[in-house]
């Protein structure tokens, strides 16, 4: 098949912020049954777990896991939002902030104990969920994410992207 | 390259993120700062005031890939705090949980993270299906990972953040049909594990130097849950003596804690385990390996990859034996007493020794917690090795090659920055 005859790939970004990266591991487990399909379907523009040569450029879908714990993270997330047609929040920390945001609920005594570290390392006073920082198009909750719900969301997002391509023609 | 500052923004194909500052002056490495920069999530503070039963699922969230090791370690610490002794069946299920974890996690590291460097590729998914060898690796990788994932699912509920293990036992047992299917998948994956060993045995990467190491060495079989911590100098420490073993070192540039033993850096992980306990590997594993085991003990850090491949095979062989050797009977988890106490948990996570300490009050609520992760223990050794590696490459090696060699070396340790960090960004400082 000539290059021009190959189906257009969906440009994907996979990003992790303040979290345990459990959804990344679930995604790599989903590859066990889908690696042949996904490598034909997706152009991984940015997926640090899979490759070294990552570029932050135009994406059809950006998957973001993790809460937002520092201003540099918030800036990077805003940049991703500008570049992505769709942004999907992946997993509990991105969707609700928890458990990465557990310090928001600490007692005054606990907050005092960790306060110097929050300050020293320039963390935000409050850990934020993704939708506190940017507009989110879809969410896959769960700690870790529910695999079937993720796959359904991927199908839906890919269909939306392709519908957009069709309307461009 | 006499003197310069170099910035490498992200080490990829590792779990999590870290940053590296490298300063070269007059053709010699002046300092290497391997900075663990994870935004702190304060789990050891968050345990305070919570009941014991809540601790394992909470501490599991420290790390996705190591989550089931954190569950096992936290359960052990909590049970030891109140004097709870689990049943032999529960211990077998816990060993199986760890085997599922190690099979899945080692395969992820060896194939997805390391193997692209062997073939000059950037991404394992870009391996060529028309090339016989690369085609085989693609299929082997996902067959092994799927077998480990399935084992973890039937025994522990999930391969990430296990739901079935609890204090005093398991709240669900695998069915006969699931056990038969797991055995079938593991047996099918065994030839792939043998091919994986052959690949990493042939690998000629070498960075060898004097190195201390330590690991939890089991009394009987080679497994990941009990024993004493033994050092490369032959010292033996019971689990409760871990404060005598580890000296906490504050690295001002890092959000994670680093450790030394008697003032010296050391290594933890599969290489340390195999160096110290290879004679306890499963009999079938040893018979299949032949002279491969003569490569150990080794202080070549890249042999950590081969050690992980050997642990893949051992995990498959021993898991099959455990699954075939026992009828799993319904057992209600033993209820922990509500009483005051202090408990230590020590397990071998895929990438090294993991410590949890839990102090519980007479009301059954946790007073304090402490977690020491493998990557923190390896941190100073990694810095020392990067300095040695770069000094050996200077002055004639170009910068991209040096950066790639640094990444390869860091990957050999299989660090998990989610446990301890995020983001490896190298700032080169040369004048």
pLDDT tens digit at each of 431 positions of chain B: 566 665 555 556 667 677 788 898 988 999 888 876 678 889 989 999 999 999 999 999 999 999 999 999 999 999 999 999 999 999 999 999 999 999 999 999 999 999 999 999 999 999 999 999 999 999 999 999 999 999 999 999 999 999 999 999 999 999 999 999 999 999 999 999 999 999 999 999 999 999 999 999 998 889 999 999 999 999 999 988 988 999 988 887 776 788 999 999 999 999 999 999 999 999 999 999 999 999 999 999 999 999 999 999 999 999 999 999 989 999 999 999 999 999 999 999 999 999 999 999 999 999 999 999 998 899 999 999 999 999 999 888 988 899 889 989 999 999 876 555 323 344 556 54
Distance (Å) from the alpha carbon of A147 to chain B's nearest alpha carbon:
11
Interface test with A, best of B11, B17, B36, B61 (most A CBs within 10 A): B61
Measured CA distances, B165 to A29, B152, B328 (Å): 21, 11, 14
DSSP string, B118-180: HTT-S-GGGS-TTSHHHHHHHHHHHHHHHHHHHHHHHHHS-SSS-SSEETTEES----HHHHH
Q: Which residues of A127-137 are buried (b: 16+ CB within 10 A; e: fewer)?
A: bbbbeebbebb
Q: Are A66 and A141 in contact (CB under 8 A)?
A: no
Q: Please give the tally of structural domains in chain B.
A: 1
Question: Pairing state of beta strands A138-140 and A84-90?
Answer: parallel
**What is the reported pLDDT for B5?**
61
Task: Give domain status of residue B4, yes or no.
Answer: no
- The beta-carbon neighbor of B142 closest among A26, A31, A54 is A31
- The beta-carbon neighbor of A25 closest among B46, B64, B124 is B64
State the fold for domain A8-157.
Rossmann fold (3.40.50)
Spatial separation of the C-alpha atoms in residues B93 and B158, rounded to whole Å: 13
Q: Which residues touch B234 (CB under 8 Å, ≥6 apart)?
A: none
Query: Which residues of B are annotated as part of the binding site for Mg(2+)?
Result: 371, 422
Spatial separation of the C-alpha atoms in residues B115 and B220, rounded to whole Å: 33
B152's tokens = 């973890």
Query: Which residues of B are annotated as part of the binding site for Fe cation?
Result: 66, 419
CB of A96 within 8 Å of a chain B CB? The answer is no
Q: Count other Cβ atoms within 10 Å, centred on residue B85.
A: 10
A38 contact residues in B (CB cutoff 8 A): 125
Nearest CA in chain B to A145: B160
**Residue, of A117 and A86, whose pLDDT is higher:** A86
Interface test with A, best of B64, B404, B405 (most A CBs within 10 A): B64
- The beta-carbon neighbor of A49 closest among B13, B62, B149 is B13
Nearest CA-CA partner of B266 in B350, B366, B374, B191: B374
Spatial separation of the C-alpha atoms in residues A9 and A12, rounded to whole Å: 9
* CA quadruple A82, A83, A89, A90: dihedral sign: negative
Contact B41 A102 (CB under 8 A): yes
B360's tokens = 């519980």
Task: Give domain status of residue B428, yes or no.
Answer: no
| Residue A18, pLDDT above cutoff 60 | yes
Cα-Cα-Cα-Cα dihedral of B92, B235, B410, A12, to 10°?
20
pLDDT 10s digits, A40-84: 999 999 998 898 889 999 999 999 999 999 999 999 999 999 999
Task: Give domain status of residue B35, yes or no.
Answer: no
pTM of the model: 0.94
Counting DSSP H helices and E strands in chain B, the numbers are 14, 14
Distance (Å) from the alpha carbon of B236 to chain A's nearest alpha carbon:
33
Task: Give domain status of residue B33, yes or no.
Answer: no
B158 contact residues in A (CB cutoff 8 A): 144
A9 contact residues in B (CB cutoff 8 A): none
Task: Give domain status of residue B427, yes or no.
Answer: no
- The beta-carbon neighbor of B418 closest among A21, A69, A144 is A21
Q: Does residue A4 sit in helix, strand or coil?
A: helix
CATH code assigned at B316? 1.10.645.10
Distance (Å) from the alpha carbon of A107 to chain B's nearest alpha carbon:
10
Spatial separation of the C-alpha atoms in residues B205 and B118, rounded to whole Å: 9
Give residue B353's domain range. Answer: 41-398+400-417
Spatial separation of the C-alpha atoms in residues B125 and B129, rounded to whole Å: 10
**Residue, of A111 and B17, whose pLDDT is higher:** A111
Q: Does residue B210 sit in helix, strand or coil?
A: coil
> Alpha carbon B170 to chain centroid distance?
23
Spatial separation of the C-alpha atoms in residues A39 and B125, rounded to whole Å: 7
Interface test with A, best of B19, B41, B123 (most A CBs within 10 A): B41
Contact B125 A106 (CB under 8 A): no
**What is the reported pLDDT for B422?**
27
Query: Which residues of B are annotated as part of the binding site?
Result: 63, 66, 371, 416, 419, 422
Contact B112 A21 (CB under 8 A): no
- The beta-carbon neighbor of A51 closest among B12, B48, B65 is B12
Interface test with B, best of A29, A106, A120, A148 (most B CBs within 10 A): A29
What is the residue whose two structure tokens read 């305070």? B48
B159 contact residues in A (CB cutoff 8 A): 25, 29
CB of A50 within 8 Å of a chain B CB? The answer is yes
Residue B249, exposed/middle/buried by CB under 10 A (0-12, 13-18, 19+)?
middle
Distance (Å) from the alpha carbon of B99 to chain A's nearest alpha carbon:
16
Contact B64 A39 (CB under 8 A): no
């Amino acid at each position: 098949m000539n290059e021009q005859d190959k189906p257009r790939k969906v440009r994907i970004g996979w990003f992790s912020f303040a979290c345990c990266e459990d959804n990344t591991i679930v995604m790599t487990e989903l590859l066990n049954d889908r690696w042949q399909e996904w490598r034909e379907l997706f152009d991984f523009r940015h997926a640090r777990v899979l490759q070294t040569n990552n570029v932050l450029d135009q994406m059809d879908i950006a998957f973001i896991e993790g809460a937002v714990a520092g201003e540099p993270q918030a800036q990077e997330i805003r940049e991703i939002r500008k570049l992505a047609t769709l942004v999907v929040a992946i997993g509990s920390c991105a969707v609700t902030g928890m458990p990465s945001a557990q310090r928001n609920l600490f007692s005054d005594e606990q907050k005092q104990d960790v306060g110097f570290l929050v300050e020293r390392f320039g963390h935000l006073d409050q850990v934020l969920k993704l939708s506190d920082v940017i507009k989110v198009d879809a969410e896959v909750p769960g700690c870790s994410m529910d695999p079937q719900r993720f796959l359904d969301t991927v199908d839906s997002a890919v269909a939306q992207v392709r519908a957009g391509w069709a309307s461009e023609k | 390259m006499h003197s310069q500052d170099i910035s490498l923004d992200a080490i990829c194909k590792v779990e999590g993120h870290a940053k590296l500052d490298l300063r070269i002056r007059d053709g010699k490495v002046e300092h290497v700062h391997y900075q663990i920069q994870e935004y702190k999530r304060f789990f050891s503070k968050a345990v305070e005031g919570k009941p014991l039963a809540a601790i394992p699922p909470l501490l599991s969230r420290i790390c996705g890939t190591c989550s089931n090791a954190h569950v096992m370690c936290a359960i052990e610490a909590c049970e030891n705090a109140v004097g709870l002794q689990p049943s032999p069946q529960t211990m077998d299920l816990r060993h199986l949980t760890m085997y599922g974890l190690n099979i899945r996690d080692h395969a992820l590291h060896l194939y997805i993270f390391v193997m692209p460097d062997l073939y000059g590729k950037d991404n394992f998914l870009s391996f060529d299906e028309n090339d016989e060898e690369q085609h085989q690796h693609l299929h082997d990788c996902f067959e092994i990972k799927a077998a480990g994932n399935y084992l973890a699912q039937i025994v522990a509920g999930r391969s990430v953040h296990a739901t079935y293990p609890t204090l005093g036992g398991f709240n669900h047992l695998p069915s006969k049909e699931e056990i038969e299917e797991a055995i079938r998948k593991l047996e099918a994956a065994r030839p792939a594990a043998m091919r994986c060993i052959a690949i990493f045995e042939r690998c000629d990467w070498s960075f060898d130097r004097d190195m201390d190491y330590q690991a939890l060495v089991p009394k009987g079989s080679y497994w990941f849950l009990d024993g004493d911590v033994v050092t490369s100098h032959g010292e033996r420490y019971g689990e409760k003596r871990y404060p005598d073993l580890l000296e906490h070192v504050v690295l001002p540039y890092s959000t994670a804690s680093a450790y030394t033993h008697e003032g010296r850096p050391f290594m933890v992980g599969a290489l340390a385990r195999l160096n110290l306990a290879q004679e306890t590997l499963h009999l079938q594993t040893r018979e299949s390996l032949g002279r491969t085991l003569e490569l150990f003990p080794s202080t070549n850090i890249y042999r950590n990859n081969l050690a992980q491949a050997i642990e893949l095979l051992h995990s498959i062989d021993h898991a099959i034996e455990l699954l075939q050797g026992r009828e799993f009977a319904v057992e209600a988890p033993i209820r922990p007493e509500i009483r005051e106490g202090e408990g230590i948990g020590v397990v071998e996570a895929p990438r090294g020794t993991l410590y949890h300490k839990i102090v519980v009050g007479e009301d059954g609520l946790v007073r304090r917690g402490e977690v020491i992760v493998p990557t923190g223990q390896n941190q100073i050794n990694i810095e020392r090795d990067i300095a040695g590696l770069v000094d050996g490459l200077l002055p004639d090696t170009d910068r991209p090659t040096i950066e790639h060699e640094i990444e390869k070396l860091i990957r050999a340790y299989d660090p998990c920055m989610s446990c301890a960090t995020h983001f490896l960004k190298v700032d080169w400082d040369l004048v």
